[in-house]
């Protein structure tokens, strides 16, 4: 297989994985907002429907990245897959815990990821 075919295959797999992720997130968001409008959404701390959506999206992204990392047949996750999962989890958990430093944690996570990416780059 040529390099061009590898890149095309990688792009197709990435598009497939993104479609699966966003489809799952939209289904989750629909379930959360539906449960909220019917009064079935659990009230934990100061969490609203958006906290549940962000938490579910982050958990889904993290589990997906870990499964891809453990499965040799799939495209391995990039560092940014974990960073986005972390950002979504922090946004979601901030609503549950009342953690007011969520934005600071997100900036810290992005900074560490950029630094690690630069230091670990094997050019």
pLDDT tens track for 11-64 = 888 899 899 999 999 999 999 999 999 999 988 878 899 999 999 999 999 999
Model pTM score: 0.80
- The confidence band for 6, taking pLDDT boundaries of 50, 70 and 90, is low
User: Is the confidence at residue 2, as pLDDT, over 70?
Assistant: no
Number of domains in the chain: 1
What domain range is 90 assigned to? Answer: 7-120
In a domain, 58, yes or no: yes
In a domain, 62, yes or no: yes
In a domain, 115, yes or no: yes
pLDDT, mean of residues 84-92: 88
CB 106 within 8 A of CB 91: yes
In a domain, 56, yes or no: yes
In a domain, 1, yes or no: no
Question: Cα separation of 29 and 50, whole Å?
Answer: 8
């Amino acid at each position: 297989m040529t390099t061009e075919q590898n890149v095309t295959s990688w792009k197709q797999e990435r598009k497939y994985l993104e479609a699966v992720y966003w489809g799952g997130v939209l289904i989750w968001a629909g379930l959360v907002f539906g449960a909220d409008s019917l009064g079935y959404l659990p009230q934990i701390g100061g969490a609203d429907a958006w906290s549940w959506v962000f938490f579910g999206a982050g958990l889904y992204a993290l589990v997906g990245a870990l499964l891809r990392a453990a499965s040799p047949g799939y495209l391995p996750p990039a560092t940014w897959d974990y960073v986005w999962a972390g950002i979504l989890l922090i946004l979601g958990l901030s609503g549950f815990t009342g953690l007011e430093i969520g934005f600071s944690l997100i900036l810290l996570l992005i900074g560490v990821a950029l630094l690690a990416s630069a230091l670990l780059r094997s050019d």
